[in-house]
Amino acid sequence: MLSKSNFSKTRGQLLALCFLFSASLMIPAAQAQQLGVTQSQILTISIERLFAESEFGQRIANEIDAESAVLAAENRRIEGELEQEERDLTERRKSLDANAFRVLADAFDQKVQSHRTTQKSKYEALNQKGDIARAEFLQVIVPILEDLRREAGAAVLIEKSTVILADPTFDITAIAISRVNVALGDGARITTDPQQ
């Protein structure tokens, strides 16, 4: 049996041990607070959001939007010209024999097909520009994401869209956007030339 004085002494020692133990548990949380990264073995990230909300991704989106607008205006202009040409051809049909009209009609059809092919190629090139920029972005952010993974003491960084359920505190997308913006800015200085 513990005497009253021994019990008080033992209780005091237990409280001191509990305090030390709880303080040791708080160290990772304090480090996480300093680093701004949740300490966890598993982290999630939305690469789509990271690209879209980063200065780099926004620059690419703005460039593609501007080029798309130019291409759409060009498309409307050419289509207007072709429509006028078609009306003129229809009008001329009255004064042409069948063979002469057929030659003009075939030439017009080829012109329309050529326009469609050219415009389709331009739209595909624009889409490819976006894909290339995204691939380049993913390549240059790997060291930034690796630093975040290490800071969090995580073994795994998982794409959020593949996760069914997760604690939102383990999502590092917002801090990744901040770090990427600091490191890359809008990415304009990064070369897109595959030869370099």
Q: Indicate the residue type of 167.
A: D
The answer for 187, left when phi > 0, alpha when psi is -120 to 50, beta otherwise, is: left
pLDDT for 61-90, tens place per residue? 999 999 999 999 999 999 999 999 999 998
What tokens does 45 get?
Answer: 């990230």
> Rounded to 5 degrees, what are φ and ψ at 50?
-60, -45
The predicted pLDDT at position 191 comes to: 54
> For residues 50 and 176, is the Cβ–Cβ distance under 8 A?
yes
Structural element, H or E, at residue 54: none
> For residues 40 and 148, is the Cβ–Cβ distance under 8 A?
no
What tokens does 93 get?
Answer: 């049909």
What does the pLDDT average to over 120-124?
94
pLDDT for 13-46, tens place per residue? 433 333 333 333 333 434 444 446 778 888 999 9
The predicted pLDDT at position 36 comes to: 65
Integer Cα distance of 157 and 45 in angstroms: 7
pLDDT for 130-184, tens place per residue? 999 999 999 999 999 999 999 989 899 999 999 888 888 899 999 999 999 999 9
Q: Is the pLDDT of residue 96 over 90?
A: no
